[in-house]
Chain A
Amino acid sequence: MKKPALPRQNGSAQKKSLSSLLAVVLFLVFFILALCANIIAPHDPWERFDPYLPPSVEHWLGTNDLGHDILSELIYGSRVSLLVGLGAAVLATAIGLCVGLFAGYYKGVTDEILMGITDVFLMIPRIPLIILLAAFLKPSFWIIALVIGFLWWTSTARVVRSKSLQVSEMNFVLSSKCLGFSDKHIIFTDIFPNIIQIVIPKFMLTVAAAMITEASLSFLGLGDPSMKSWGMMINFAFTKGGLINALWWWFIPPGLCIMFFVYSVVLLGYSLEEKEQAVLGIS
Chain B
Amino acid sequence: MRFLNQASQILGKKPFKKIFILICLLILIPILRSGPRVGYGIAKNQNNRILRIGTSGRVRSANIFLDSYISVFAQLSNPSLMKMTPDGRIVGQIAKDIHISSDYMRWEFHIQEDLYWSDGELVTPEDVKFTIEYIRDRSPVAGWMKDTIDTVSISDEKAVILQLKRPYTRLDVEMATHRLLPKHIWQSIDTPMQYTNPGENVGCGPFFIQKIDLNRGVILFAQNPFWKGPKPKIDAIEVHIYQNIDVLSLALDKGEIDVFYNYASSYPYQNLKKIRANSRFDFIEKLSTGLIFLGLNLGKAPMSDLRFREALSFAIDYGEIIKLDSLGYGKIPNRGFLPPTIEHYKDTTPLEYNPEKAKQILDDSGYGDHNGDGIREGHDGKNLALTLLVRPVHARLAELIQDYLRSVGVKTTTKSVDTSTWINLKDRYRYDLTIARTTPWGMIMHAGWATGYFDSRRTGEGVLHNIDDPKFFKLCDDLLSTRNKEKLRDFAFQVQDYYNGQLPAIPLYWNVFVTPFHTKFQGWLTNPLYGIFNIDNFLNIEPAQK
List A contacts of B320 (CB < 8 A).
48
Query: Of A66, A225, A238, which one neighbours B392 at CB under 8 angstroms?
Result: A225
- Given A238-B246, A244-B274, A135 contacting B418 (CB threshold 8 A): yes
Q: How far is the CB of B453 from chain A (nearest CB, A)?
A: 24
The B-contacting residues of A in range 111-149, CB under 8 angstroms, are 135-136, 138-139
Closest 10 pairs between A and B when the two form their complex, measured CB to CB: A241-B270, A225-B395, A221-B392, A226-B414, A225-B416, A244-B271, A135-B418, A244-B249, A240-B270, A244-B246
Total inter-chain residue pairs, C-beta < 8 Å: 65
Q: A66-B324, A225-B414, A226-B414 are in contact. Are A244 and B399 (CB under 8 A)?
A: no
Known: A46-B403, A244-B249. 10 other contacts (CB 8 A): A48-B320, A48-B324, A51-B323, A222-B392, A222-B418, A225-B395, A236-B395, A239-B245, A240-B270, A243-B246
**Binary CB contact string for chain A from 39 to 67 against chain B (1 if under 8 A, 0 otherwise):** 00000001010010000000000000111
A46-B403, A51-B324, A245-B270 known; A240+B417 contact, CB < 8 A = no
Residue contacts A-B, CB under 8 angstroms, 9 given: A51-B327, A65-B396, A135-B417, A135-B418, A138-B417, A221-B392, A239-B245, A244-B274, A245-B271
Q: Is A69 an interface residue (CB 8 A)?
A: no
- Tell me the bound Cα distance from A48 to B421 in angstroms: 31
User: B181 contacts the other chain (Cβ, under 8 Å)?
Assistant: no
Residue numbers of A with Cβ under 8 A of B are: 46, 48, 51, 65-67, 135-136, 138-139, 221-222, 224-226, 236, 238-241, 243-245
* In the complex with contacts A51-B323, A135-B421, A245-B274, A66-B399 CB distance below 8 A: yes
Asked if B159 is at the interface of the complex by the 8 Å CB criterion, the answer is: no
Closest to B277 in A: A245
Q: Is B57 an interface residue (CB 8 A)?
A: no
Which of B268, B392, B403, B421 lies in contact with A241, CB distance below 8 A?
A: B268
Least CB distance from A281 to B in Å reads: 24
Residues of A with C-beta under 8 A to B415: 138
- For the complex formed, measure the closest distance between the CB of B181 and the CB atoms of chain A, giving whole angstroms: 36
Smallest beta-carbon distance B446→chain A, Å? 31
For the complex, give the distance between the alpha carbons of A51 and B325 in Å: 10
Total number of B residues with any Cβ neighbor in A under 8 Å? 30
Q: B367-393 interface mask toward A, CB cutoff 8 Å, 1 = contact, 0 = none?
A: 000000000000000000000001010
Please pick, from B270, B271, B421, the residue contacting A136 in the complex, using a CB distance under 8 A.
Answer: B421
Of residues 248 through 282 on chain B, the ones whose CB sits less than 8 Å from some CB of chain A are 249-250, 253, 268, 270-271, 273-274
Which A residues touch B416, using CB under 8 A?
139, 224-226
Closest A-chain residue to B269, C-beta based?
Answer: A241
Tell me the dominant secondary structure on chain A's binding face.
loop
What's the nearest-Cβ distance from chain B to residue A63, in Å?
11
B414 touches A244 (CB 8 A): no
Complex Cα distance A138/B320, Å? 28
- Let me know if A244 and B324 touch, CB within 8 A: no
Most buried by A among B253, B320, B324: B324
Q: Tell me, in angstroms, the Cα distance from A226 to B406 when the chains sit together.
A: 14
* A48 proximity list for chain B (CB < 8 A): 320, 324
Q: Is the CB of B414 within 8 A of A240?
A: no
B466 within 8 A of A: no
CA distance A78 to B323 in the complex (A): 29
Q: How far is the CA of A51 from the CA of B392 in the complex (A)?
A: 20
A224 to B398, CA, bound (A): 12
Q: In the assembled complex, which residues on chain A have CB atoms less than 8 Å from the CB atom of B396? A: 65-66, 225, 236, 240
Which B residues between 46 and 73 are near A, CB-CB below 8 angstroms? none
Tell yes or no: B400 within 8 A of A by CB.
yes
B201 close to chain A: CB less than 8 A: no
Whether a CB of chain A sits under 8 angstroms from the CB of B402 is yes
**A138 contact set on B, CB distance < 8 A:** 415, 417
| B272 (CB) vs chain A CBs: closest residue | A241
Contact A67 B324 (CB under 8 A): yes
CB distance from B75 to the nearest CB of A (A): 29
- Find B400's partner among A66, A135, A139, A241 (CB 8 Å cutoff): A66
